[in-house]
């Protein structure tokens, strides 16, 4: 594994302070092109999820697992995986904690 720094999935507009997805090229509010780093989100609400029982190559260690769409306070929806308490534990609108792993993959844990 290389030593590349893992970046947060969100960033902050330097001009107006709006939080944006890391992939945004310019600010959705003011059009600025300068951004600053933002801490990865640590919580959100379940917008939707699906259970993966036949994982793709590389995800065999945790099966089944949930792929969770989490709506964070900043108004964005991010993808996370849930590997503990998978079967039947999540409901739409549940609060979940988010943790960013060393590979940049967000993990959701029910609160």
Site residues (vs Zn ion, CB under 5 A): 13, 15-16, 18, 27, 29-30, 32
Q: Please identify, using beta-carbon distances, which residue of 18 and 45 lies nearer to Zn ion.
A: 18
C-beta of 38: minimal distance to Zn ion in Å? 13
Helix (H) or strand (E) holding 106: strand 106-110
Q: Please identify, using beta-carbon distances, which residue of 28 and 101 lies nearer to Zn ion.
A: 28
Could you tell me if 76 and 45 are in contact, meaning their C-beta atoms sit under 8 angstroms apart? no
C-beta of 26: minimal distance to Zn ion in Å? 8
Q: Please identify, using beta-carbon distances, which residue of 15 and 22 lies nearer to Zn ion.
A: 15
C-beta of 75: minimal distance to Zn ion in Å? 14
Non-local (6+) Cβ contacts of 31 within 8 A are none
CA 84 to chain centre: 16
Could you tell me if 33 and 44 are in contact, meaning their C-beta atoms sit under 8 angstroms apart? no
């Amino acid at each position: 594994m290389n030593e590349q720094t893992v970046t947060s999935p969100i960033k902050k507009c330097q001009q107006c302070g709006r939080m944006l997805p890391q992939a945004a090229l310019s600010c959705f509010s003011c059009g600025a092109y300068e951004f600053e780093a933002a801490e990865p989100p640590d919580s959100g609400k379940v917008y939707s999820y699906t259970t993966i029982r036949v994982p793709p190559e590389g995800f065999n260690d945790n099966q089944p697992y949930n792929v969770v769409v989490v709506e964070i306070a900043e108004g964005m929806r991010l993808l996370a995986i849930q590997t503990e308490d998978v079967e039947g534990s999540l409901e739409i609108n549940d609060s979940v904690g988010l943790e960013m792993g060393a590979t940049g993959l967000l993990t959701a844990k029910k609160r």
